[in-house]
Chains A and B, each alone.
Chain A
Amino acid sequence: MVTGGLFTLGLMAVVAYRWPRWSLLLNLLLSLGAVAYGGYGLWHGSPTAGPGPLELSPLRAWFLMVLGLVASLSSWYRWGYHDDQVSLRLWLPLFLLSMMTVILANNLWVFMTGWESMTITSFFLVTTHHERPDVLKSGYIYLVMSQVSAMVILAGMLVMDTHLHSVDFSVWAQRGAALPRGTKSLIFGLLGLGFGMKSGVIPFHVWLPRAHPAAPAPVSSLMSGAMIKLGIFGMLQFLLFDLGPTARLWPLLVLAVGAVSSLLGVLYALMEHDLKRLLAYHSIENIGIILLGVGVMGVGIDWHHPAWVAVGLVAALFHTLNHAIFKSQLFLAAGAVEQHTGTLDVDHLGGLLRTIPGIALGFIAGSLAISGLPPFNGFVSEWLTFRGLVGLAHGTGLLALYGLGLIMVLGLTGALAGLCFVKASGVVFLGEPRQAGPRQPLPASLTGSVLGLAAISLILGVIPQPLLHLINGIDPAYRLSTEGLLLPVRTPIIGGLLVVGVAVFAGLSRVWDVRTVPRWSCGREADASMQYTSASFTKAIRTTFAVIYRPHRHVVRLGPGAPDFPTRLLYSGGTVPVWERYLYRPVYGFLWGMSRLSTRIQRGPVRLYLAYVLGTVGLMLALLH
């Protein structure tokens, strides 16, 4: 009945697309309804799903709550967003409804219908600005990769159906664990690939940094905060909960994919100048971190180690929520920057803290959270992920060494993320503006929603215990006491002491009692072009990781005295998109060649096709007899 109500609300929002305020209000109600329904499911829901086509289980309730939370804040944000077009009002409620269908689906057909309509609606949302050719191209890349992923998922699910003789997910949950090892491996491979593509793990990430920046900010925040998490949802529900123990290779592979995605995601993010593309690459990084939690859980299942299962699951699910919060916060802040200045190129920005202090505060808080720093929520979930990996390193033999390697990768990822967000918030919001331009004032709903998300992220960073308690109840088979889990970190003490400490020292040093003086630039007049830019800030990283980036630069010296005394310098430089060039280009070339081959028999005349039909029928008659 509740689902019926939610769907009615959603459809009303679609119908109301001509009336912006009503549409937004209905959207907000729908999202809040999803939060409430998810919360209800977590507190009071039955541990197993019922027989209907759309059923709630604790795991689904969690993802529903994450989705609803992101959606409600982005609805509020849209109240003052300049780019809130008709197409957004038409497709966004449908997108939300299809994501809810995916989460609540209780059989294969409902799931695939929801999954496909999620892809299609999000395609229309990504191509909101289809008049720009690059947007359309990004949209097509996104559509193609989503279709491939959907087909792979369908194949995996049909294998499951063939062996269990049922399309009902509750049957899968009961009998999935009893499947033979070989079948499980086949299913794990197919579904892992499909869900991995949708969550944007490397090497299937190329659509993500294209599609997310092309979309308007509320859509980017929903896609990054909620949609790619559904891939994680699929892996958890079907691969870990349903299948149970599999071949030991699989969780180790999940860990490896998670490590590679997190490290390369942040490394690519560092080279980005477009704020939204930078954030999109960080989504890849965070999906990698979530996958590390998922992998620890899988290792725990296969090695029969309940503590690892509990830590891994809690880390993965909590980071899912946290990433949804701070990433939508950052995307919404980026959208506000775009609305304020008209550009997203960080090398043209600077000093925005003076003109939009609220957004700046929200972005800096989000940067702290995404870098996993206390007292924000990212700290807690990254800490838990580390703890899961330390659990692996606590053992003996190869697995322990693997665990140590993963810890180091995650440590490097964390440090690089910190660097990247010092750069992003510093170059955009601090210092002096690099280019003068008109600055549009921002409506309160933009600042309010960004700061609202920041407040949630702070609260979850200081008092995460109630929510962790809820997550802990999601899988009753592996329950660990939340107290034991978080005892070593004691977030209220850490967060509380940190805030008190900063306040005390700020009071002692009397931060208000200062005199403003010109800054030091060796006695010369300081100007904005002397500041470090995004490219100069990451120069050392570009040189150190040259093997990954393959940087190239091209300098032309012009003028009568060139090359020694040039009057003008033309500089261009960049990095090589390795995956596109060495993986996608050849595959694309191969497919293109194959389709060209097929033109030899596809000439167009109707007579030819009639001949083919006749030939096929004849062949079948001959073979079947």
Chain B
Amino acid sequence: MVWIVQGVGVAVLVAVAPWMWGIAQTVKARCQGRRGPAPGQLYWIIRKHWHKETTVPDRSSWVFRLAPSVSMASLVLIVITIPIAGRVPPEWPHNMLTLFFLLALERFWSGLAGLDTGGTFGGLGASRITTLGTGIEPALFAALGIAWQVSGDGAIVPLAAHLTNGSASLLPWALASVSVALVLLAEWGRLPVDNPDTHLELTMMHEATLLEYDGRFLALSEWAMALKFTALVAFAWVVLGPQFSSLWANLGLRIVEMAATAGALGWLESRLTKLRYFQLPAYFAVAAGIGMLGFYLASGGLGL
């Protein structure tokens, strides 16, 4: 039963990813007073790209051609290892550390692909996203600090059951949630860290590594970008959110949560401006600091 739910969950998550991305874009447009595209627009865009001829820059190699597949494969693998309905059999790998390593793998290949174009924009994007990674990774480890308190090996388990037996543990949970939200905004490549809609060379980060892609490669990359968003929303809600006892109900809850998060993100983005690049270290320091505070409270303070 658990296997079936997990399998359905993976399929649903991968399938609805562009739609969730679309919800965020639509809500953002509405909040800014525009009509905006329909939430399903990304499917049409991906379909259009898929049927176009695929070109590669003249100086690129197999690294450039393989990068979208590596991104997509590592993100699908991330989805597979997340217990989407809150539970997977113990012999199935479900581990936060593994998840972070897979995110790093995706980033590494995007960076390589950027440099492989042999142009300026690719190198610019590669430099920026890998630099961004040096902020994201330590902050993510701190943000999920209370998870280390619960499971000694970093397994992805819902924290709700462990934290709601005393009112004192609500504060660490709240701090961790804020911190995780801040870090994930950066990992998704959304405002205030990166703007997915920009094509100005001064501001683009992830988009710059995608600039030379078109056709099927661009379609895969866009799907992967949407999937990263969906997968990490699901991950955050599994770890920090409430759980039902029924697996199917949890799966339904995940869909609702994802749609709600996408809507909230769209609203939030219409109210934020992009931070300056060199303000980002402070942003990550704040996120990590909040996470460490939560960890400190959860570990019982400084009492030895």
Contacts and interface: CB of A to CB of B under 8 A. Distances in A.
Given A501-B73, A540-B277, A408 B120 contact: no
A194 B266 CA distance: 58
B303 interface: yes
A397 B303 contact: yes
Interface in B97-146: 97-98, 100-102, 104-105, 107-108, 111-112, 114-124, 126-128, 130-131, 133-134, 136-138, 140-142, 145
A396 B66 CA distance: 45
B101 A373 contact: yes
B3 interface: no
Interface stretch (B21-29, B33-41, B211-219): B211-219
B224 to A, nearest CB: 9
B74 A498 contact: yes
A482 to B, nearest CB: 14
A231 B221 CA distance: 46
A408 B104 contact: no
A371 interface: yes
B55 A540 contact: no
Interface stretch (A43-51, A65-73, A450-458, A507-515): A507-515
A371 B104 contact: yes
Contacts of B58: 516-519
Interface stretch (A4-12, A127-135, A387-395): A387-395
A374 B128 CA distance: 22
Contacts of A364: 63, 112
Interface of A: 351, 353-354, 364, 367-368, 371-374, 379, 382-383, 386-387, 390-391, 393-398, 400-401, 403-404, 407-409, 411-412, 414-416, 418-419, 421-423, 425-427, 430-432, 487-490, 493-494, 497-498, 501-502, 504-506, 508-511, 513-521, 526, 528, 530-532, 536-541, 543-544
A418 B61 CA distance: 20
A429 to B, nearest CB: 8
Contacts of B262: none
A520 B211 contact: yes
Given A404-B295, A426-B111, A541 B120 contact: no
B55 A401 contact: no
B14 to A, nearest CB: 11
A393 B149 contact: yes
Contacts of A387: 97, 153-154
Contact of A404 (B55, B108, B292): B292
Contacts, number: 280
Interface residues of B, number: 92
A397 B104 contact: no
A422 B59 contact: no
A415 B120 CA distance: 23
Contacts of B54: 509-510, 513-515
Nearest to B71: A505
B115 A490 contact: no
B87 interface: no
A599 B280 CA distance: 57
Given A390-B152, A489-B95, 12 more contacts: A351-B59, A404-B145, A418-B108, A426-B126, A488-B155, A494-B81, A494-B98, A501-B69, A501-B76, A505-B220, A540-B127, A543-B278
Given A373-B105, A431-B118, A517-B57, A422 B112 contact: yes
B7 interface: no
B304 interface: yes
B304 to A, nearest CB: 4
A166 B58 CA distance: 70
Contacts of A498: 73-74, 77
A395 B298 CA distance: 10
Nearest to B124: A532
Question: Which of B216, B292, B299 has the most chain A CB atoms inside 10 A of its CB?
Answer: B299
Contact of A517 (B56, B116, B155): B56
Nearest to A488: B95
A382 B98 CA distance: 10
A390 B212 contact: no
B101 A379 contact: yes
Contacts of B91: 487, 490
Interface string B2-26: 0000000000000000000000000
B117 A368 contact: no
Contacts of B80: 497
Nearest to A491: B93
A544 B283 CA distance: 13
B72 to A, nearest CB: 5
B148 interface: yes
A490 B90 CA distance: 11
29 contacts: A351-B59, A374-B101, A386-B97, A387-B154, A394-B152, A401-B295, A404-B145, A412-B134, A414-B137, A418-B111, A421-B108, A426-B115, A430-B61, A487-B91, A493-B93, A494-B93, A498-B74, A498-B77, A501-B74, A504-B73, A505-B220, A506-B65, A516-B56, A519-B57, A520-B121, A528-B118, A536-B123, A537-B123, A541-B134
B300 interface: yes
Contact of B92 (A368, A421, A490): A490
A518 to B, nearest CB: 6
B186 interface: no
A390 B216 contact: no
B296 A426 contact: no
Question: Which of A395, A411, A412 has the most chain B CB atoms inside 10 A of its CB?
Answer: A411
Nearest to A373: B105
B123 A401 contact: no
A421 B104 CA distance: 12
B231 to A, nearest CB: 14
B56 A506 contact: no
Contacts of B153: 387, 390-391, 488
A147 B99 CA distance: 45
B59 A397 contact: no
B172 interface: no
Contacts of B69: 501-502, 504-506, 509, 511
A511 B93 contact: no
A411 B137 contact: yes
The 4 tightest CB contacts between A and B, nearest first, are A532-B123, A426-B115, A501-B73, A519-B57
Contacts of B134: 412, 415-416, 419, 541
Interface in B143-194: 145, 148-149, 151-155
A501 B281 CA distance: 34
Contacts of B197: none
A114 B232 CA distance: 53
B104 A415 contact: yes
A494 B149 contact: no
Contact of B131 (A351, A425, A541): A541
A537 B126 contact: yes
A519 B212 contact: yes
B98 A383 contact: yes
A389 to B, nearest CB: 9
B288 interface: yes
Contacts of B140: 411
Contact of A373 (B94, B104, B141): B104
A195 to B, nearest CB: 29
A521 B61 CA distance: 18
B119 A521 contact: yes
A515 B55 contact: yes
A531 B131 contact: no
B68 interface: yes
Interface in B268-304: 277-278, 281, 288, 292, 295-296, 299-304
Given A411-B141, A532-B120, A390 B57 contact: no
Nearest to A483: B91
Nearest to A383: B97
B66 A394 contact: no
Contacts of B138: 408-409, 411-412, 415
A505 B120 contact: no
Contacts of A368: 105, 108
